[in-house]
């Protein structure tokens, strides 16, 4: 079946611009996660959606970052006024029911801020 998909695969933007990254989770998965992977930093948790519960935003690095999940499916991560330090690969994952369920990852969006 279809896995997690993300778009765009690559995004180059100028400092100060806003960007939107999209994630389509596996159909039926109630939990959706966003992570960021920077060179030499490993994977960093950003935000977690589980069903209709309020999202866990504890990993968002600043108020320039926000995310929403419409209809319990597709999610959009928005970065406002991008900075060079936002350059990274943004990975989305989904799992059947959250908790300790296995997370399945998308291919990521590579963001470059010039």
Report, in Å, the least distance between residue 46 CB and other proteins: 9
Task: Rank residues 50 and 80 by Cβ distance to other proteins and give the closer one.
Answer: 50
Which residues, at least 6 apart from 33, have a Cβ–Cβ distance to it below 8 Å? 45, 46, 47, 48, 49, 92, 93, 94, 95, 103
Report, in Å, the least distance between residue 81 CB and other proteins: 25
Asked if 59 contacts 45 with a C-beta cutoff of 8 angstroms, the reply is yes
Interface residues toward other proteins, by CB under 8 A: 4, 6, 33, 35, 40-43, 45, 48, 50, 56, 59, 91, 93, 98-100, 102-108, 110
């Amino acid at each position: 079946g279809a896995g997690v998909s993300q778009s765009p695969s690559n995004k180059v933007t100028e400092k100060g611009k806003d960007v939107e990254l999209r994630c389509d989770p596996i159909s039926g998965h109630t939990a959706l996660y966003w992570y960021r992977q920077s060179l030499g930093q490993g994977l960093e948790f950003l935000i977690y959606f589980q069903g209709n519960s309020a999202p866990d935003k504890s990993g968002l690095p600043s108020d320039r970052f926000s995310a929403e999940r419409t209809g319990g499916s597709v999610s959009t991560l928005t970065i406002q006024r991008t900075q060079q330090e936002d350059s990274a690969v943004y990975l989305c994952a989904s799992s059947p029911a959250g908790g300790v369920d296995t997370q399945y990852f998308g291919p990521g969006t590579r963001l470059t801020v010039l």
